[in-house]
Structure 1
Amino acid sequence: MKIQRITYLSLGSNQGDKTKNLQKAIELIDEKIGAIKKIAAIYKTPALGFDGDDFYNTVIKVSTYLPPETLITTLLKIENELGRARSENGEYINRLIDIDILLFEDEIIFSKNLIVPHPRMLQRKFVLVPLEEIASNILHPIEKKQIKICLENCDDSSEIIKIDETLVRPIPLSEKYNYIAIEGNIGAGKTTLANLISDDFNAKVVLERYSENPFLPKFYQDKERFAFPLEMSFLADRYQQLTDDLAQFDLFKNFIVSDYYIFKSLIFAKITLQQDEYALYSKMFNLMYREITKPDLYIYLYQNTESLLTNIKNRGRVYEQNIKPEYLQKIHDGYASFIKTEQNLNTLIIDISKLDFVNNENDYEIILKKIKKF
């Protein structure tokens, strides 16, 4: 699991719709940097160091797993994406957006591209006032004084006015949902996505223990003989894992993501079992299903059959190499029927047929955006 660290960022704008510029920056920081924990009010201040329009300024608290050098590089890209223009001679000019790193944990950084704490933050009231609002008792790493004391000692006489407009904090997945279940066909990327989300949001991850099932390789060699023991063993293991793992965590305080939902047991059983076996199996399933905690969000990753077969081939599990397209279509049809009839689940279907979220970070961000905005 990646280490999350706290950084405080100063945001400013003095061109165009200044509040909108700040809000766009916040949304991009949420997408590319990390979860935004706090946002200070907006303060209007005169341009400092040059003749320009008044600025709107704020400070945000962000939890990020990016190291400082990567953080500053990403912030510069966000500024460019929002239309930030820079003077060739380094002089201060009007700008659509300006983002500075004020603090990064309690670290002191002197590098070619970055100095932290920001070297001029203690002389700028437009920085200290919003920072004190959300981090009053934080110590300045060099001064060894609380921010509120630093503000009291600041000799900046610039006028600063708190305005009525407010900024909206994007709600991170870890606050929006307590339990997400990710489903999909064989080779859709359920486990990969669950692990990525777990890393990025410090979630407890629950992964299906398929590799520990001794009947799985036998099933692909002789489906008729081993279908029933395979499905029963999967059902028992999924039930035990979900009840044990979910019971250990407070679903109101912890964020959990799993790469399966127990209803897949019934979907696969309907495909693989004989009618009389399925009748017995479904009775057992229904007894267990009542006891399972339902996810706050059920995600179904749809991928076309051609892509699934490519993924299955690339991951190289020997017992999967003879899977037929018809079998994958039956599984998809089973999921489609379940999603259509199960009205009590909060279901999001994401078509990933043209996305490679494993190797392309932008594709992964597309998926996260869909989940956050659902």
Structure 2
Amino acid sequence: MKIQKTTYLSLGTNQGNKLENLQKAINLIDNNIGSIIKISSIYKTPSWGFNGNDFYNICIKVTTYQNPETLLNTLLSIEKNIGRVRTSKEGYENRLIDIDILLFDEEIIFSKNLMIPHPKMLQRKFVLIPLSEIAETTIHPIEKKQISICLQNCLDSSEIAITSEKLIRPIPLSEKYNYIAIEGNIGAGKTSLANMISNEFNAKIVLERFAENPFLPKFYKDKERYAFPLEMSFLADRYQQLTDDLAQFDLFKNFIVSDYYIFKSLIFAQVTLQQEEYLLYRKMFDLMYKEITKPDLYIYLFQNTDRLLQNIKKRGREYEQNIEPSYLKKIHSGYKNFINTEKNLNTLVIDVSDIDFVNNHEDYKYIINKIKCF
């Protein structure tokens, strides 16, 4: 399990639309570094160490999986993205955005490119006042004192004024949702996306146990004979897995993400079963469906049929290699009908036909942003 670290950052700007600069930096930090847990008020402060325009300064608390060196490089990229141009000129100067790492857990780092805690933070009220607002009892790892005490001891006499302007904190997935279910046709990439979200957000993951079903290879060889035992065994296993896993509270996981939702059982059964078998199956399904916890967000990944067939061939499961395009189209029609008629689910459809979120990080971030903004 990856361990999240807590870092405190200082942000300042004294050029252009200062509120917009800070908000853009916050959004980029959320997209590229980690979840923003707290944002201080905005403080108007005089330029420090040079004659220039007044600054807007804030501090933020962020959780991240990045190590300090990677974090520094990411922050430099964010500054560049916003428009900051670093010069070889010595001393301080006006800037569109300035982002400094103040604290990184309890670590003490002295390297050529990075010093943590920030060596000048205890001399600056424009840092300590917003930091104390969101981290009053946090201990400075060198001074061994709370930030609030460090503020009291600060000799900086600068006039710092709180403003009435507000910033918007991006809501992390782990706060917005308790349970996300990801669905899609065979080969759409639902398991890959579920794993990626679980890894990034430390979510508990529930994966369909298709590999353990002895009827699946037999079904693709003789669909008429093995359709009913296949669908019944999948239904029973999905019901048991979701009932057990969703009932367990995991102290170390923020939320749950699964690569299926139990309604897929009915969608596949509609395609594979004869009418009499389906009617019996539907009775069993309706009894179970009432007991299943509904997801806060239901995501359907749409892939066109050609891409599905490419993905199926690429992953190389022998029993899937003879799947017909017509079968995939029937499955998609079943999902489409379910999405159009099931009004009690919070449903997000994402077309992934022309993107590769597994191998292209920007495509993956596109999907995450779609989920965050939904």
Normalised TM-score (structure 2): 0.98
The runs of 5 or more residues in structure 1 that have no matched partner are: none
- Whole-angstrom distance in 1 between the partners of 2:51 and 2:324: 70
Q: Which moved more, 1:181-190 or 1:110-119?
A: 110-119
Compute the displacement of 1:166 (Å): 1.2
Compute the displacement of 1:329 (Å): 0.8
Distance 1:35 1:337, change over 3 A: same
Counterpart position of 1:172: 172
Q: Is the 8 A contact 1:79 1:99 kept in 2?
A: yes
Q: Which moved more, 1:143-152 or 1:342-351?
A: 143-152
- Whole-angstrom distance in 1 between the partners of 2:90 and 2:273: 72
Counterpart position of 2:289: 289
Counterpart position of 1:181: 181
Q: Is the 8 A contact 2:202 2:254 kept in 1?
A: no
1:17-71 CA-to-partner distances (Å, cap 9, x unmatched) read 1111101111111111111111110011111111110000000000101111111
Counterpart position of 2:131: 131
1:32 matched to 2:60? The reply is no
Q: Is the 8 A contact 1:269 1:278 kept in 2?
A: yes
Q: How does 1:300-311 map to 2 (within 5 A)?
A: 300-311=300-311
Q: Is the 8 A contact 1:299 1:348 kept in 2?
A: yes
Counterpart position of 1:153: 153
RMSD: 1.2
1:246 matched to 2:251? The reply is no
Q: Is the 8 A contact 1:87 1:93 kept in 2?
A: no
How many residues were matched structurally? 373
> Partner letter of residue 372 of structure 2?
K
Distance 1:61 1:324, change over 3 A: same
1:125-173 CA-to-partner distances (Å, cap 9, x unmatched) read 1001100111111111111111111111111111110111111111111
Normalised TM-score (structure 1): 0.98
- Whole-angstrom distance in 1 between the partners of 2:146 and 2:91: 31
Q: Is the 8 A contact 2:201 2:254 kept in 1?
A: no
Q: Is the 8 A contact 1:271 1:330 kept in 2?
A: yes
Q: How does 1:81-120 map to 2 (within 5 A)?
A: 81-120=81-120
Runs of 4+ in 1 over 4 A off after TM superposition: none
Counterpart position of 1:226: 226
SS in structure 1 of the partner of residue 183 of structure 2: strand
Q: How does 1:1-374 map to 2 (within 5 A)?
A: 1-249=1-249, 254-374=254-374
1:104-125 CA-to-partner distances (Å, cap 9, x unmatched) read 0000112232111111111111
SS in structure 1 of the partner of residue 38 of structure 2: strand
SS in structure 1 of the partner of residue 36 of structure 2: strand
Compute the displacement of 1:92 (Å): 1.8
Compute the displacement of 1:74 (Å): 0.8
SS in structure 2 of the partner of residue 265 of structure 1: helix
Compute the displacement of 1:316 (Å): 1.1
Q: Is the 8 A contact 2:182 2:299 kept in 1?
A: yes
- Whole-angstrom distance in 2 between the partners of 1:234 and 1:67: 42
> Partner letter of residue 243 of structure 2?
T
Compute the displacement of 1:366 (Å): 0.3
- Whole-angstrom distance in 2 between the partners of 1:312 and 1:113: 46
The runs of 5 or more residues in structure 2 that have no matched partner are: none
Q: Is the 8 A contact 2:9 2:61 kept in 1?
A: yes
Compute the displacement of 1:249 (Å): 2.4
> Partner letter of residue 54 of structure 2?
D
1:291-310 CA-to-partner distances (Å, cap 9, x unmatched) read 11111110000011111111
SS in structure 2 of the partner of residue 53 of structure 1: coil
- Whole-angstrom distance in 1 between the partners of 2:343 and 2:238: 22
Compute the displacement of 1:257 (Å): 0.8
SS in structure 2 of the partner of residue 300 of structure 1: strand
